[in-house]
Structure 1
């Protein structure tokens, strides 16, 4: 089963965005992909859970975590084959791992092992200084700072290097671009 969580090797520079919901990860991924004439990997968790909500009016459960992880890795592996120079990932298994700890107090071991083994040349943690936009899946509008701190503490506890992104979309794009050109 874990084999389906393996990140394929590639010379493409992988850039991932993690952080609380509604903090601009999708906007950054799609905008940067367009700027660098490449593709981006969408957040599979959103697609999966939106379908579940639309068809069954149900939210995420523990049993959804492994299918979400498998879908995210499959999508990322597919996109890295199509990418040129960069692949921008609107979340990654680290995001799923951290949310598992946030919501369930634990993470399935196979997801945690895979998340910690995946490599990204640049990891950005998005801050909560952008407007909240409600939708069917978002559920923590009043806990955004706490969720950000949870993400930061988890990344720090694993010794994972990241850069916090703050400010407007233009400012965040500038911060990313500066980092990518180093």
Structure 2
């Protein structure tokens, strides 16, 4: 396989519609969707998360991505989050990030990040922890994406407007990348 498959990542603080929107975008473009491995991992975790768990989630996310990238016939895929999330949660909850994650950050890049704004109402979920800290985590996401010199766009709006804003950002990205190829 010689073609370079683009990766578009849907990221942001908790309860900002990442999973819902990533599925909608993948369906809209008829491309493959890479789910968030950590959601499955944490759903069965019956104790506090450890640094080893964070490392396991990192490797799980990479394995999912690699499997989809190896089998897709599309020019791009939609990723419901990235392992940057592992860094953010590790730093916040455990005070450090596994070195393997830090080493991979500059190596495993994404072509476009859609950073979900915190303008959606909070939705309770057993895997969500910080209903009153979404503003703080939004700033953390900006900081992390800027540190990676990442190409990203903040996506705001409720319901259909959010979807349309995301599609608009992806269309601009695809158009700019099509002209360059």
TM-score normalized by structure 1? 0.85
Superposition RMSD in Å: 1.9
Which residues in structure 2 correspond to 1:88-103 (within 5 Å)?
88-103=78-93
1:43 has 2:10 as partner = no
Give the deviation of 1:10 after TM superposition: 5.2
Partner of 1:122 in structure 2? 112
Partner of 2:20 in structure 1? 27
Partner of 1:11 in structure 2? 4
| Structure 1 segments of 4+ aligned residues over 3 angstroms from their partners | none
Whole-Å Cα distance in 1 between the matches of residues 103 and 130 of structure 2? 27
Gaps of 5+ in 2: 176-181
Contact conserved, 1:28 with 1:169, CA < 8 A, in 2? Answer: no
Secondary structure of the equivalent of 2:25?
helix
1:70 has 2:59 as partner = yes
Tell me which moved more, 145-154 or 69-78.
Answer: 145-154
Contact conserved, 1:36 with 1:86, CA < 8 A, in 2? Answer: no
CA gap 1:61/1:162 in 2 versus in 1, 3 angstroms: same
Give the deviation of 1:157 after TM superposition: 3.2
CA gap 1:20/1:9 in 2 versus in 1, 3 angstroms: farther
Whole-Å Cα distance in 1 between the matches of residues 154 and 143 of structure 2? 13
CA gap 1:169/1:81 in 2 versus in 1, 3 angstroms: farther
Give the deviation of 1:9 after TM superposition: 7.7
> How many residue pairs align between the two structures?
171
Whole-Å Cα distance in 2 between the matches of residues 51 and 9 of structure 1? 38
Whole-Å Cα distance in 2 between the matches of residues 118 and 179 of structure 1? 22
Secondary structure of the equivalent of 1:116?
coil
Tell me which moved more, 140-149 or 81-90.
Answer: 81-90
Give the deviation of 1:11 after TM superposition: 2.2
